[in-house]
Amino acid sequence: MRIRIFILFFLTTAFLVTAQDIKTKGDKYFYAYAYEDAIKEYGKEMQKGFLMTNHQLLNLADSYFKTNDYTNAAKWYLDVYKNDTIMSNNRFNSMLQSLAKTSEPERVKAFLKSNEGSLSTELVENAAFNYELLQSETADNGGFFVFNIDANSPQDDFAPTFYKDKLLFSSSRKSKSKKIYGPSGESYMDIYVARINGGGKVMNPNIFEKIPESSYHKATPYHASGIDRIFYVLSNEEDGELTFDDRGKNSLAIGVTYDNGFFRNMLKDLSTSFYYPFFDEVSERLYFAADFPDGYGGTDIYYVSTVNSQVMSAPVNLGPRINTPGNEIAPYFMGNSLFFSSDVFYGLGGMDIYKAYLQADDSFSTPVNLGEGINSPDDDFGFIIRPQDMDGYIGYFSSNRKGGKGGDDIYGFKISREPGLKTLLVRGEVRTPKTEQGIGDVSVKLLDGEQNLIKEVFTQDDGSYQLEVPWREDVSLKVSKPGYSTFNKTYTESGLEELKNNKQDVEIVSLEELVEKRENQDVLKLDSFVFERGKTEIVPEIAVQLDKVVEAVEQFPKMRLQIETHTDSRGSSSSNKRLSQKRADAIRLYLEQKDVTSANIVSATGYGEEKILNSCTNGVYCLDFLHDQNARTNFVVLNYEELNQ
């Protein structure tokens, strides 16, 4: 199998440590990248009864994987995995890639389900989302028009970047100034420049001469147009000779060339290679891929903060929402859209191009596979894009798909809108209406038109939530937590655009805020009110309080109420009994006219003067305010405990 340059450095690094422990002929072939010979020799050794170590079994699995024999690769990876042997994240990804290529996605999903306790939440969510997205009706070609460019060669051409009205790219085509790179048998990489014509075609490539000369690697350039500087990777060398760490490894550094020809090394470590720089001129962050040992997989994407192209911070990993057990490379931003490539197992095959949104809090949305319109079963990477005047977008990417001119070719594309399969991103905050304090552990569900569950998440401690699903034409949002009111809202057509483009903040009310203990009962908290003496009319002051009852029922639709009205002792007991019942009936009628149903009002009872609260009984002289304490109305919540569960 062909090993292209952008992955080769990582593989070489991984093997340098183990190459010191070559014990068999199979090991020797494996570390020499002769995978087919390694498979044969490992087979012979097992037939002779040689006891293979788990490390050698993984080498065998890797050899099958590198030669596209995914059935046998999956078998040997799983054999090792079942023994609870520690497996690197990168090999775990290769195991799942092999499973994905030899079975239905359901088998991989089942595997993830049975092992989700040991996997990151982000990895499980990303996989479920992209599997559903790629199988949904929205997974068409995404509107891409893709074409091969004339500037490609029989060698590897990749990593394009816009340079004014031209294109810079990396190539291993032969050059008099370049030595031969041993592991690949091709020339060391160099940076070329070519002209872009009006139709997006790229022609007349030549060596780019505005970067300091080197006989070794110069590759993956990025041109920051606002400051006219070029960031690129280069071999670590000194006085024209490669420099090595104590394990004999030569790594790649990231340097920058200014418009006046000044050069500066930005990231250099003899034991770590850096790839695919991208410089964001707004934040002054330098993004790149690297194979640090504490990453999530093979190569991860990082950034460092800079000032005037000088590094001012330690590398920051973009986290498990972006980085996976596989390899992530080639970050590229357009606005707040991050495009990058990954060979994670839930893609279409090899390296796929993904898109995620950088949000205000520096977190990322779920990465979205750009789909079959641009991704192939092979490797697709090095994506760049920019708007055209009144004519959508134009961009370029690299691929080793069938039908190309060489190993990796550069392809152009045109598209009428910003690329990405259509998804629905819903995010916001759940909080209390009075204090506006966020509420944690709240269930946020997205339901389809038939009220079937699409996805459920729970809010963070600060009340924030986010969920993203393939596009739907009709959804409902349901927010709930035991002891709190429930929020329900349905969105269609224009409402979906509102939901997509704006935060959906939700207020829910705690039942404890609405209910208090009074007279040994759970009753709604209301301001006290009294009817006019001998009257039953619902005056505006009373209506204000009754509307609070209506609101409480709307917030808790299953609330069951008992209306209790009481009078003071003035007047006869029988007349007070009749008066209080008429008042209870008037309250009930008012609530029913406000759509509070009989399911909510269990009873409405007038007790007259049966339950006097103080000593103001018949024949006892009391001031009016003491009598008024007895003339009261309670709304008893009969199912308080049930609602609070």
Say if residue 484's pLDDT is above 60: yes
Q: Which of 23-27, 35-39, 175-179, 569-573 has the lowest mean pLDDT?
A: 175-179
Say if residue 25's pLDDT is above 50: yes
Residue 404 lies in a domain: yes
One domain, residues 376 and 471: no
Residue 550 lies in a domain: yes
pLDDT of amino acid 597: 94
What number is the average pLDDT over the span 624-642? Answer: 93
Residue 324 domain boundaries:
145-415
Domain boundary residue among 415, 442, 473? 415
CATH of the domain at 463: 2.60.40.10
What number is the average pLDDT over the span 586-603? Answer: 96
Residue 133 lies in a domain: no
What number is the average pLDDT over the span 482-491? Answer: 92
What number is the average pLDDT over the span 632-636? Answer: 96
What number is the average pLDDT over the span 88-94? Answer: 86
For residue 272, which amino acid is it?
T
pLDDT of amino acid 119: 86
pLDDT of amino acid 420: 82
CATH of the domain at 603: 3.30.1330.60
One domain, residues 246 and 259: yes
pLDDT of amino acid 1: 30
pLDDT of amino acid 138: 61
* C-beta of residue 399 within 8 angstroms of C-beta of residue 380: yes
One domain, residues 580 and 556: yes
Distance (Å, whole) CA 483 – CA 640: 9
Say if residue 336's pLDDT is above 80: yes
Residue 76 lies in a domain: yes
Residue 384 banded pLDDT, cuts 50, 70, 90: very high
Domain boundary residue among 366, 382, 415? 415
Burial of 270 (0-12, 13-18, 19+ CB in 10 A): middle
What number is the average pLDDT over the span 603-632? Answer: 92
Which residue would you say has higher pLDDT here, 359 or 565?
A: 565
SS3 category, 228: coil
Residue 11 banded pLDDT, cuts 50, 70, 90: very low
Say if residue 85's pLDDT is above 80: no
pLDDT of amino acid 16: 47
Q: What share of the chain is helix, strand, coil (3-state, %, to 5)?
A: 25, 30, 45
Residue/partner pairs of 127-130 with CB below 8 Å, 24 or more apart: 127/344, 127/345, 127/346, 129/366, 129/368, 129/468, 129/469, 129/470, 130/346, 130/347, 130/367, 130/368, 130/369
pLDDT of amino acid 494: 76
What number is the average pLDDT over the span 398-427? Answer: 90
What number is the average pLDDT over the span 188-193? Answer: 92
Residue 435 banded pLDDT, cuts 50, 70, 90: confident
What number is the average pLDDT over the span 494-522? Answer: 88
Distance (Å, whole) CA 104 – CA 112: 13
Number of H helices, E strands in the chain: 14, 37
HSE value, Cβ hemisphere, 13 Å, CA-based, for 270: 10
Quick one: how far is CA 620 from the chain centroid? 72
Mean pLDDT of the chain: 89
One domain, residues 447 and 478: yes
One domain, residues 212 and 315: yes
Say if residue 320's pLDDT is above 50: yes
Residue 128 lies in a domain: no
Residue 288 banded pLDDT, cuts 50, 70, 90: very high
Say if residue 640's pLDDT is above 80: yes
What number is the average pLDDT over the span 578-602? Answer: 96
Structural domain count, the chain: 4
One domain, residues 496 and 519: no
Residue 161 banded pLDDT, cuts 50, 70, 90: very high
Say if residue 78's pLDDT is above 80: yes
Residue 580 lies in a domain: yes
Say if residue 5's pLDDT is above 70: no
Say if residue 304's pLDDT is above 80: yes
pLDDT of amino acid 185: 61
One domain, residues 59 and 194: no
- Give how far Cα 383 sits from Cα of 53, 259, 342, 358, 400, Å: 40, 24, 12, 17, 14
For residue 126, which amino acid is it?
N
One domain, residues 442 and 312: no
pLDDT of amino acid 224: 96
pLDDT of amino acid 83: 80
- Give how far Cα 211 sits from Cα of 166, 222, 255, Å: 16, 12, 10
One domain, residues 521 and 489: no
Say if residue 15's pLDDT is above 50: no
Q: Which of 128-142, 374-388, 620-634 has the lowest mean pLDDT?
A: 128-142
Residue 73 lies in a domain: yes
pLDDT of amino acid 67: 92
Distance (Å, whole) CA 591 – CA 602: 13
Domain boundary residue among 393, 415, 437? 415
pLDDT of amino acid 8: 41
How do residues 513-556 score in pLDDT, each as one tens digit? Answer: 999 999 999 999 999 998 998 999 999 999 999 999 999 999 99
pLDDT of amino acid 240: 80
Residue-wise DSSP of 262-325: -EEEEE-BTTB-EEEEEEETTTTEEEEEE--TTSSSSSEEEEEEEETTEE-S--EE--TTT--S
pLDDT of amino acid 2: 34
One domain, residues 492 and 517: no
- Say how many Å lie between the first and final Cα of the chain, rounded: 60
CATH of the domain at 219: 2.115.10.20
Phi, psi for residue 483 in degrees, rounded to 5: 85, 5
What number is the average pLDDT over the span 567-572? Answer: 91
pLDDT of amino acid 140: 62
One domain, residues 374 and 430: no
Distance (Å, whole) CA 301 – CA 288: 6
One domain, residues 366 and 260: yes
Distance (Å, whole) CA 134 – CA 465: 24
